[in-house]
Chains A and B, each alone.
Chain A
Amino acid sequence: MLKYTLRRLLGMIPMLLLISIVVFSLAMFMPGDPLGGEIDPTNSDPEYIEEMREKLGYNDPIHVQYWTWVTNFVQGDFGKSTQYKVQVSELVKSRMLNTLFLGISSIVITYIFAFAMGMTAGRKAYSKLDHFIGGLNYFGLAVPNYIAGVVIIYFFSFKLGWIPFGGSHEIGLQPGTLEYWISRFHHVLAPAIVLGALSTASYTQFLRNDIIESSRKDFVRTARAKGTSESKIYNSHILRNSVIPLITFLGFDIVTIVNGAVITEAIFTYPGIGTLFLNSVNNRDYSVLMTLTMFFSLLVLIGNLVADLLYGIVDPRIRID
């Protein structure tokens, strides 16, 4: 397995190189640059804009720009944000914590809901409750999260006042205090649910189907014949088997944590990687944009690797070397 992991990791290098070319070209294909589109006669003059373009290297030939970017990137120099005027690494670091917090909360919430609903639905298959859960799930799958977000804010925040409409914590709380953390959970709840809606729905259905399938298997019949209680059969025998395929999703979840947050964060004015990414696209903040896209790509690759490795671990029948 070690050998396999190493091989996969090595294989990532050419892949990342190719991705870097795609990311760079796509970034360059976007019309305009950070200095266009925002001309302000009271605030700058044509000479300054031209000077900045020269300084930032936008006038260099494309391959030179690419080479500069890649060599700096490999050395850990992600460049400086033209919009935020700070090093990209610092910028990302400052926002990463918020996004991780949101992502992890989202996963926890997803798993709690998915297990509760999936087990109920699987056990009471084809009952009214099952259909209700199924309906809810298909609704969750069908509604895009940017719409769900706005609707949730409208009802639960403005109409009912249960949750804050945005932000990551109550204004004025000192980081580190208990109140601060309670406030953070309170703020992260709604975006986390919205973010997790899609995976909750699919996990629930997945779990339900697997439980129904397992419940018809021989070992279940044997257990029943032996007089084992129903709850023990479901909670222990069946669940243990049905959870195995779900665990492998964890790899993909790593990806969802960061990527999925792009739109959700913007709607909930949550200061994380997602809002940063959107801003960088809007402002053609190349260094931030390309760093984040590379980072997302890397996550996808790692997520895939983790998923494959987990397959091997949970199901010894799958051999990966």
Chain B
Amino acid sequence: MKKSYWLIAMMLVLTMFLAACGGDDNEEQGSEDEGTEEESSEEGTEEESSEEGSEEASGDGEPVDGGTLIYAIDSEPSGPLDINFYSSVTEAEINQFVQEGFVEYDEEFNPIPHLAEWETEDQKTYNFTIKEGVKWHNGDDLTVHDWVFAIETLAHPDYTGPRWANVQTIEGAADFREGNADEIAGLNVKGDYEIEITFDKARVNNLLNLWTYPMNQTAFEGIEVAEMEESAPSMTELVGTGPFKVKNTSAGEYYELEKNEDYWQGEPHLDGLTVRVVANTSVIGALENGEVDMVPVHPTQGEEADALDNVSVITYPGVSYYYVGFKLGVFDSDAGEIVEEKEKYSNKKLRQALWHAIDREQWIETFFGGYGKTLNAPIPTSHWIAADNDDLKQYEYSTEKAKELLAEAGYEDTNGDGFVEDPEGNEFVLSFSHYDTGNPSFETRAQALVQQWEQIGVKSELQMVEVQNYYDMIENDDPAIEAFFGGWSVGADPDPTALWASDQLWNYPRFNNEEADKLLEDALDVEVVGDDKDKRKDVYTEWQKLVNEEAPALIIGELEEVYAVNERVGGLEYDVTGFNNAMNWFVTDGADK
């Protein structure tokens, strides 16, 4: 019996070990990309096809009707699939084909009408008109009540999903949530197809933040809000208005979708589209065999996929970036402000020197297969607010320049050990942290940075921190974390306030600069910028210049989204917001099958 006890203990340990080894891209997606671009993964609109920035993919020839396309994902979707409840990027891979919103985004992430059009005069009150004649998959007419239903669900005190933030700016939503009101004051239904939504105050990004997806009332009829998340319509039986509807699902394995013949924009070419879970180790083989037609691949696998004869790799700019941050202070989350400054990395020239020391192009080439490019400010270049690169300091790779800056900052080698000492003559050791998912390439890529810093004479140490703990430690300003590797993926709203303003928890470097805060405030202030986009962009450019100069974080680069697509797939168009509407996709041998 003793033996069995040991067995169990061993087993737990072993499985944890194996799990760490397994640490596949599933893990990586969550932590590395730091979340999703949910808006950007929505289908683009057909208007984009003729516009600059969108490209035609491999698919050639006339569209063919019929056939089924197999779309693969490498980790299993878990939990609710419904757009109003889902929580991770994997689930979005399924609901993007089934559900759609009132608003879409163009390639500059400007909201454009989709199922609804809107007008506003003061950026506080918006008047929406919904398309008539759009049908849900279950035959219901899409009306404005479905939207109200969605918003009231999200604002309900029992709502268990993560979307309260998307409705909290509506006037009266807070009262509704606290139970002081039976309905949300800011929602003024003017008819079945018209609604006026009032926000608590005028903001330039009210619309971007707003929840613009409907929720089918029949499907969720009679289900308490607290139970909705785990109910069938949310978990498996998705109801939407999109080009495809759910036919059959086998949890954790595949999700079979069939075309929505009554789709309001016309009948899709494909008869069906199956989203299939394929283990990372099998993706390339399955592509080669034609068992998978389309799959998002990790940049490091791009080259391998590109080498296959029947597959082409397509890329479009993503909206995620990586950086090396320095802890410049300590944040008090109760007070919502930075309460303490840290000295160690406070010298701007030191940070700039470290920036110059990194050969970023080579690094991206080596560790991301070249599917990315360097970036000098924390705004992906696809966002319309991104500053012109020429306005920013370039931080090109130059050990000379780096050493010069180090010397100017007073960091010199005084005891002849080959490494610099700080201006007071004390040993200086840069402590760099990177998250560890078990993926061996992470340690290598972190080590590459450390070596480059050592080359300019800055003694550096690397510590790999278990990924589940990593962001917690960073968030809590754990003293063990000094310099750290991080990444953010941002959505349609280009505003960087949540990630870089001094009163924000997610400003991980604890960048505290009054001028920068003021600029960020101005850029969102209707009084200052009104609805003049150029003016807003100017303010953001100023902010980027400042961050670029101050270097609270060494921005490394932005990544591209990489997809491997079988040659038989046609009709794909893509730009920064993702692919076009799947109704236009086809397979060239569709008619034969």
Residues of A within 8 A of B (CB): 11, 15, 18-19, 22-23, 26, 30-33, 36-48, 80-81, 83-87, 94-95, 146, 150, 153-154, 157-158, 161, 165-169, 171-172, 259, 262-263, 266-269, 271, 275-279, 281-284, 293, 296-297, 300-301, 304
Please list 18 pairs of residues, one from A and one from B, whose beta carbons are closer than 8 Å in the complex, sorted by A's number.
A31-B466, A32-B467, A32-B470, A37-B471, A38-B30, A42-B38, A42-B490, A42-B491, A48-B164, A86-B230, A158-B285, A166-B278, A166-B282, A172-B256, A269-B279, A275-B76, A281-B16, A300-B4
Interface residues of B in 1-59 (CB under 8 A from A): 1, 4-5, 7-9, 11-13, 15-16, 18-19, 22-23, 26-27, 30-31, 34-39
The answer to whether the Cβ of B340 comes within 8 Å of any Cβ in the partner chain is no
B8 surroundings in chain A (CB, below 8 A): 19, 22, 293, 296-297, 300
Chain B interface main SS type: mixed
Contact B35 A15 (CB under 8 A): no
A146 surroundings in chain B (CB, below 8 A): 18
A269 surroundings in chain B (CB, below 8 A): 253, 277-279, 282
| 9 further contact pairs, Cβ within 8 A, besides A157-B289, A275-B76, A282-B22 | A19-B5, A31-B468, A42-B36, A42-B38, A42-B39, A44-B162, A158-B285, A266-B279, A293-B8
B107 to A: closest C-beta gap in Å: 18
B258 to A: closest C-beta gap in Å: 10
Closest to A174 in B: B248
A95 to B278 CA separation, bound complex (whole angstroms):
17
Interface-centre pick from A26, A47, A282, A296 (highest chain B CB count, 10 A): A282
Choose, from B187-195, B261-269, B498-506, the stretch at the interface.
Answer: B498-506
Contact A23 B12 (CB under 8 A): yes
The answer to whether the Cβ of B212 comes within 8 Å of any Cβ in the partner chain is no
A293 surroundings in chain B (CB, below 8 A): 8, 12
B333 to A: closest C-beta gap in Å: 7
Closest to B166 in A: A43
A154 surroundings in chain B (CB, below 8 A): 285
Contact B251 A94 (CB under 8 A): yes
Contact B282 A165 (CB under 8 A): yes
Contact B162 A43 (CB under 8 A): yes
Contact B468 A42 (CB under 8 A): no
A317 to B68 CA separation, bound complex (whole angstroms):
64
A283 to B: closest C-beta gap in Å: 8
Complex interface bits, B192-206 against A, C-beta within 8 A gives 1, otherwise 0: 000000000000000
B235 surroundings in chain A (CB, below 8 A): 85-86
A36 to B26 CA separation, bound complex (whole angstroms):
15
Contact B79 A26 (CB under 8 A): no
Q: Which of A41, A168, A279 contacts B488 (CB 8 A)?
A: A41
Contact A165 B291 (CB under 8 A): yes
Q: Which 10 A-B pairs have the closest CB atoms?
A: A32-B468, A40-B35, A42-B491, A31-B469, A271-B252, A158-B285, A38-B30, A44-B162, A281-B19, A85-B79
B441 to A: closest C-beta gap in Å: 18
Q: Which of A44, A150, A168, A296 contacts B253 (CB 8 A)?
A: A168
Q: Which of B35, B281, B466 contacts A41 (CB 8 A)?
A: B35
The answer to whether the Cβ of B347 comes within 8 Å of any Cβ in the partner chain is no
Interface residues of B in 77-92 (CB under 8 A from A): 78-80, 85, 87-88
Contact B281 A150 (CB under 8 A): yes
B16 surroundings in chain A (CB, below 8 A): 26, 30, 281
Contact B277 A84 (CB under 8 A): no
A86 to B505 CA separation, bound complex (whole angstroms):
30
Contact A39 B35 (CB under 8 A): yes
A183 to B15 CA separation, bound complex (whole angstroms):
30
A283 to B26 CA separation, bound complex (whole angstroms):
10
The answer to whether the Cβ of B591 comes within 8 Å of any Cβ in the partner chain is no
A146 to B472 CA separation, bound complex (whole angstroms):
32
Closest to B229 in A: A85
Contact A266 B282 (CB under 8 A): no
B229 to A: closest C-beta gap in Å: 5
Contact A43 B87 (CB under 8 A): yes
Complex interface bits, B432-476 against A, C-beta within 8 A gives 1, otherwise 0: 000100000000000000000000000000000011111110000
The answer to whether the Cβ of B288 comes within 8 Å of any Cβ in the partner chain is yes
A81 to B288 CA separation, bound complex (whole angstroms):
36
Contact B468 A37 (CB under 8 A): yes
Contact A37 B467 (CB under 8 A): yes
Closest to B165 in A: A45
Complex interface bits, B498-526 against A, C-beta within 8 A gives 1, otherwise 0: 11000001100000000000000000000
A46 to B23 CA separation, bound complex (whole angstroms):
26
The answer to whether the Cβ of B112 comes within 8 Å of any Cβ in the partner chain is no
B248 surroundings in chain A (CB, below 8 A): 172
Interface-centre pick from A23, A32, A171 (highest chain B CB count, 10 A): A171
